[in-house]
Structure 1
Amino acid sequence: MARSSFTRSGISRRRFVRDTTLAAAATAVSWRMVHGALSDDFQVKIGLIGCGGRGTGAVLNALGAATHVIYPSAGYHTEDVAENAAVARPNIRVAALADVFPDRLQACRAQLEKLNIRIPDEHCFTGFDAYKQLLAVEEINYVILAEPPHFRPAHLMAAIEAGKHVFMEKPAAVDVPGVKLVMQAGELAAQKGLGIAAGTQRRHQLSYRETIRRIQDGAIGEIIYAKAYWNGGEIWVIERRPEWSDMEWQLRNWNYFTWLSGDHIVEQHVHNLDVMNWVIGTHPIRAVSGIGGRQVRTDPKYGNIFDHFAVEFEYPNGVTVFSQCRQINGCQNIVGEEVIGSKGRSDCAQSIQAAGERWRYRGENPNPYEREHEDLIASIREGKPINEAKNVAESTMTGIIGREAVYSGQAISWDDAMESTTRLGPERYEFGPLPVPPVAMPGRYRFT
């Protein structure tokens, strides 16, 4: 395997990452500086695609509404809008909603009505083509994508083709063709001057940004080894109702089907993998080895995903990352990252230990779920929209090669994986029969 191009070019990885990150940080500062000054020049008109708990939460985050929106380790859901809730950003409004299911759309609509936001019937769309109807609403200029991840690549491309700025939840896709489509959409967005931000909110969290800036500036020396964890309990599960078809149940219970979620190493652990790619400055060369399985969540209501993964990734310059994620109740929970360098170590989030001293971030640390929207909107107002499509696509792909290494029991290289043409999911979207694929069996399953 060839060494990193950073070494071949005579530019150290640390210097390259430091310089590019400093440039990005300087741009981010300028966005914030002009945010207030240009607040009336760009009216944000939101179209929400995917009205479940995370979609409703994302809209409320964009509005800056005071709410009881919570993000427990077990999964996302929205409680209720507080009685004293208020929209903090009056120059942002919600213009349209879209979801496959009418009941989910109406639940989101009811939450917004508590904020005196009323969406007219003609701007509420349901069904598999609801996203197309929403994107045809001319006044919408800011689309939030919070549908199950399987649909995200196609919806992103459609939104960019329609000339909309996009905030997309993570992960970006569930398979390689989807990852490639996200990258293509990112390139098209750059050509059209459109912004794309992703729900990898750690990149917008000030404590992470400052800690990783210091790491990339050499605070712990050259990175040698890193660890990433999302070990937590079970997330929500939707019990099947007799009147639901296979398709409806899978869509409502989407976390538990690989074709819809990508499995939890892609859907949830992507946050930690994204931090690894961010701090190292590139994506892995390969998933060297991996183990995992379906040991506890064996009931059919848990679909066909695994309940634990452990993967070793190889990055350029010999950097090794050990990744672990689990969704099993009653076990030790650990969610976070750690990097070990030639001169010290860091948790990436707020602290660095090096040369016998410890630095800890003690500055302002506003809600990153709100900042990710603020940063995108501020960049649009300045005319320099951010574009996070490549970052989130590569972090999603990192999860995919990890998943495939565990499913198959084989090493999976990045370059080989990018040649995959296997698309997960049905060819047509319609309510009716949809057999659940078998659980992958390592040693028998093959990644193609």
Structure 2
Amino acid sequence: MSAAAGTGRTFRIALVGCGRISKNHFESIARVDGLELAAVCDVVPERAQAAGAAHGVPAFTSYEQMLREAEFDAVAICTPSGLHPAHGVAAARAGKHVISEKPMAISLEGADALVQACDDAGVHLFVVKQNRLNAPIQLVKRAIDKGRFGRLYMATCTVHWTRPQDYYDQAPWRGTWEFDGGAFMNQASHYVDLVQWLMGPVESVVAKTATLARRIEAEDSGAAVMRFRSGALGVMDVTMLTFPRNLEGSITLLGEKGTVKIGGTAVNRVETWQFADYDDDDKLVEQASTNPPTVYGFGHEAYYHNVLAVLRGEAPPETDGRAGRKSLELILGIYESARTGREVPIPLRVR
């Protein structure tokens, strides 16, 4: 790797895109001993300067200038989704590790270009999928890996949140096909990732989407039915129109010997945990539930702990570029089905 690994050393992180999600990154970097913020960048000068002043680091309005002049090991990319590949490729070519917010791209071509650039430069590509690290989700994954469910029959995933029109009006890129996508690509992308991470590869998907109430190009609501390669079925329903506030972000797994529902507003609470056979993990269920202040949960800090461990050569990445591409491919399959009215096989054909 171009930024040398080493146990015990501190790694410096720069951040581009000082908008809504950047707060989670700033707070997490500050809490992880072994990481420090080195620089910030935003095309809006006031936003860049405010973030730089708040954290005592240099502020840039030119990303290229930050890559040239600031001293850092990795860049956290928190810009509009459609810009993630270009920003990641530029960082990789500058010899920097890349930490991309979800989704890593809004096209497979963009995702593949980013993976290739990081491979060519010999740098790590991390894709932020922090919900995988929620304590209840970690317990479910362990139960699957131990075979506690037996054969998995069905997964249902629900994202009933609200995003008012003024949320979309805050930035002109939100809800556009060029830079953002809709409810599946943006708000629910973590849940699409969880479904295929827990249940295994998807064989095909059929979906309907709609723009019912928000003045945006992309969808504010949708539903998808998946068939997994294992033969199991999955159902996912998503809307940003829930009245009057975020209601639920949940996933339910139904298996031969187990039933689990992880609910709350952001898969943060164990609501059902039943298995045919006892396991010591059952004693951890109560303490695994959390009450995060927002739907982003607490996972960013755990994610940055993994970033540090990877850079120090102590662990594999929780979600690398290839894992990030899998969930993007499923989202694009959902969109293709909604557009054509057909069942769409996964993997997609890359044109």
**TM-score band, normalised by the shorter chain?**
0.7 to 0.9
Structure 2 residue matching 1:318: 3-state secondary structure: coil
Q: 1:323 to 1:140 in 2, by over 3 A?
A: same
2:294 aligned residue: none
Gaps of 5+ in 2: 1-5, 291-297
Structure 1 residue matching 2:226: 3-state secondary structure: strand
1:6-28 CA-partner distances (Å, limit 9, x unpaired): xxxxxxxxxxxxxxxxxxxxxxx
Give the number of the structure whose residues are more often strand, by fraction: 2
1:326 aligned residue: 239
**Shift in Å, 1:42:** 1.9
Structure 2 residue matching 1:42: 3-state secondary structure: coil
Gaps of 5+ in 1: 1-36, 65-87, 241-248, 421-448
Deviates more, 1:55-64 or 1:379-388: 379-388
Letter in 1 for 2:175: Y
Structure 2 residue matching 1:260: 3-state secondary structure: coil
Q: Is the 8 A contact 2:106 2:181 kept in 1?
A: yes
- Once residues 185 and 206 of structure 1 are traced to their aligned partners in structure 2, the CA distance between those partners, rounded to angstroms, is 33
**Alignment TM-score, normalising by the size of structure 2:** 0.83
- Once residues 276 and 316 of structure 2 are traced to their aligned partners in structure 1, the CA distance between those partners, rounded to angstroms, is 40
Q: Percent identity?
A: 21
User: How many residues are matched?
Assistant: 327
- Once residues 168 and 125 of structure 2 are traced to their aligned partners in structure 1, the CA distance between those partners, rounded to angstroms, is 35
2:199 aligned residue: 280
2:183 aligned residue: 264
Q: Is the 8 A contact 2:11 2:73 kept in 1?
A: yes
2:224 aligned residue: 311
**Alignment TM-score, normalising by the size of structure 1:** 0.66
- Once residues 418 and 145 of structure 1 are traced to their aligned partners in structure 2, the CA distance between those partners, rounded to angstroms, is 28
- Once residues 212 and 143 of structure 1 are traced to their aligned partners in structure 2, the CA distance between those partners, rounded to angstroms, is 29
Letter in 1 for 2:304: H
Letter in 2 for 1:158: A
1:125 aligned residue: 60
**Shift in Å, 1:419:** 1.7
**Shift in Å, 1:125:** 2.5
Instruction: Work out whether 1:352 is the aligned partner of 2:288.
Output: no
Deviates more, 1:326-335 or 1:255-264: 326-335
- Structure 2 matches for 1:316-395, cutoff 5 A? 316-330=229-243, 333-347=247-261, 350=270, 352-355=273-276, 359=282, 361-363=285-287, 367-382=298-313, 386=317, 388-395=320-327
- Structure 2 matches for 1:181-330, cutoff 5 A? 181-185=113-117, 187-188=119-120, 192=122, 194-235=123-164, 237=166, 252-282=171-201, 284-287=202-205, 289-297=206-214, 302-330=215-243
1:184-228 CA-partner distances (Å, limit 9, x unpaired): 345446xx2x33332211222333223211122211111121111
Letter in 1 for 2:39: A
Q: 1:236 to 1:51 in 2, by over 3 A?
A: farther
Q: 1:133 to 1:380 in 2, by over 3 A?
A: same
